[in-house]
């Protein structure tokens, strides 16, 4: 069995970037699914769609 190159073109930067994007996407999804969501009180005013706390 002979050694075969992973990519058959001379400059595989586009293939490398596609694989890097897919690995990062899977990693983000897995981490997002495995972490507990923060309480509403903790993120109020920090993210879009949450009411700002009333000013005193």
- Quote the pLDDT of residue 38: 86
Task: State residue 32's pLDDT score.
Answer: 96
Cα 36–48–25 angle (5° rounding)? 55
Question: 52 to each of 32, 39, 41, 48, 56, how far by Cα in Å?
Answer: 24, 15, 10, 10, 12
Q: What is the pLDDT of residue 53?
A: 56
> What's the pLDDT tens digit per position in 3-53?
887 767 777 788 889 999 999 999 999 999 999 988 878 877 777 766 665
Instruction: Report the pLDDT value the prediction gives residue 11, as an integer from 0 to 100.
Output: 75
Higher pLDDT, 29 or 56: 29
Integer angstrom CA distances of residue 50 from 20, 35, 38, 53: 33, 20, 13, 9
């Amino acid at each position: 069995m002979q050694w075969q190159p992973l990519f058959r073109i001379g400059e595989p930067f586009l293939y490398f970037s596609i694989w890097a994007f897919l690995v990062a996407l899977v990693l983000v999804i897995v981490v997002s699914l495995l972490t507990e969501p923060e309480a509403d009180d903790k993120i109020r005013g920090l993210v879009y769609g949450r009411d700002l706390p009333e000013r005193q």
